[in-house]
């Protein structure tokens, strides 16, 4: 995990000394990491908009995919994405092919460049180029 990684809280509570009580966290909620503290005994993460330092094992990073879309993403709406995915064919050759998906409702849209966005949904992060 690194800064700007989106993570989902898995409900964990086990910790060593030095991290905050997870009572402010909601199981299944997606959070943006803004910093990481590595210790000998535990790694703590700092989340955007939540006070405290939390044990990294309480979170699962969201997978990230590259995709293309015909419409600009909007928070609260689903997005039709051609997601690039690696697959092995019958000969064992790995190829990158597009697979068509409708996302869960978009939670966050970050502008990365002209017609290029980081789109965060409930379960996935997409780097999307709008065609």
User: What's the DSSP call for residue 14?
Assistant: -
pLDDT tens string 29-77: 999 999 998 888 888 999 999 999 999 999 999 999 999 999 999 999 9
Paired strand residues for 100: 82
Provide the pairing of β-strand 59-61 with 64-69. unpaired
Strands 6-9 and 125-130: unpaired
Q: How many residues does the chain have?
A: 131
Contact criterion met (CB below 8 Å) for 117 and 69: no
User: pLDDT (tens digit, 9 = 90+) per residue, 99-118?
Assistant: 898 999 999 999 999 999 99
d(CA 65, CA 27): 24
């Amino acid at each position: 995990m690194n800064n700007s990684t989106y993570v989902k809280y898995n409900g964990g509570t086990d910790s060593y000394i030095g991290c905050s009580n997870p009572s402010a966290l909601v199981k299944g909620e997606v959070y943006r990491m803004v910093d990481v503290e590595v210790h000998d005994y535990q790694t703590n993460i700092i989340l955007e908009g939540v006070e405290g330092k939390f044990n990294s094992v309480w979170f699962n990073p969201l997978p990230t995919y590259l995709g293309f879309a015909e419409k600009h993403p909007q928070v609260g709406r689903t997005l039709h994405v051609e997601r690039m995915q690696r697959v092995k064919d019958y000969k064992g050759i790995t190829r990158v092919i597009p697979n068509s998906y409708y996302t869960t409702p978009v939670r966050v849209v970050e502008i990365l460049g002209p017609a290029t966005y980081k789109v965060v949904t409930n379960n996935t992060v997409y780097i999307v180029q709008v065609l």
